[in-house]
Amino acid sequence: KAGVTQTPRYLIKTRGQQVTLSCSPISGHRSVSWYQQTPGQGLQFLFEYFSETQRNKGNFPGRFSGRQFSNSRSEMNVSTLELGDSALYLCASSLGRGAATDTQYFGPGTRLTVL
Amino acid sequence: AQSVTQLDSHVSVSEGTPVLLRCNYSSSYSPSLFWYVQHPNKGLQLLLKYTSAATLVKGINGFEAEFKKSETSFHLTKPSAHMSDAAEYFCVVSVSNTGNQFYFGTGTSLTVIP
């Protein structure tokens, strides 16, 4: 099976712009989670989507949003970019049974740099 | 509340010597626990997971971890370090109230000295 894919792999934006990142989960996986990774804050949970609905949300401002399509592909959007949004954004997919035992499989990430 | 504490931010070992990466967790529910590894500029790869079946869990690349409920620990070990083991390691606790949300430790950077 193909793994989790994320596009694009690298992005450079300027402050105030908006950006959309894309994630394609492993075939058959219905849950997609997004994480932000920075040297200062580590890995932080953004949100989880399951069956096109946001099921869990982390503690991020409303500038961060996402959606999931009927084929389980997901996008996340960041509006009005700030310098502090520079990070590696990781997407993970899982079966989505809602069980603690569900393993999340991670994509390679999108490196966002905000200038 | 759920949380994970990785007790060492950096560990350095010589090639061929044992590796010990320490993790303590706190969870209000029965947790699942995972170890992931991240090589530079790469995503996270699953090493192993504990889901209450057996307390000693074997993973890939010779790694294993032991779940100790009394100590709320889930330390990662490997008998003999290899140069390719140099990476960042994350301990993760997962609970399911709604969905399965992962809580990450701050990571341990492993250096392997030739």
Q: For position B2, what pLDDT does the model report?
A: 78
Average pLDDT for residues A43-64, to the nearest whole number? Answer: 92
pLDDT beneath 70, residues of chain B: 96-100
The pLDDT, as a whole number, for residue B98 is 54
Residues of B in CB contact (< 8 Å) with A are: 29-32, 34, 36, 41-46, 49, 51, 90, 94-96, 98-107
Choose, out of A31, A34, A104, the residue to mutate when testing the contact with B (most B CBs < 10 Å): A104
- Looking only at Cα atoms, what is the longest distance across chain A? 40
Starting at the earlier edge strand, list the strands of the sheet with A5-7. A5-7, A19-24, A74-78, A64-68
What pLDDT was estimated at residue B51? 81
- Interchain CB distance below 8 Å, A100 and B29: yes
pLDDT higher for A97 or A50?
A: A50
- The pLDDT tens digits for A68-113 are 999 999 999 999 999 999 999 999 999 877 677 788 999 999 999 9
Q: Determine the Cα–Cα distance for residues B27 and B52; give it in Å rounded to an integer.
A: 14
Residue A4: pLDDT band by 50, 70, 90 thresholds? very high
pLDDT confidence of residue B34: 94
Q: Please tell me the predicted confidence (pLDDT) of residue B99.
A: 60
Find the Cα–Cα–Cα–Cα dihedral B8, B12, B14, B18, rounded to 10°. 10
CB atoms B106 and A42 under 8 Å: yes
Within 10 A of A52 (CB to CB), how many other CB atoms are there?
13
What's the token pair of residue A30?
Answer: 């219905």
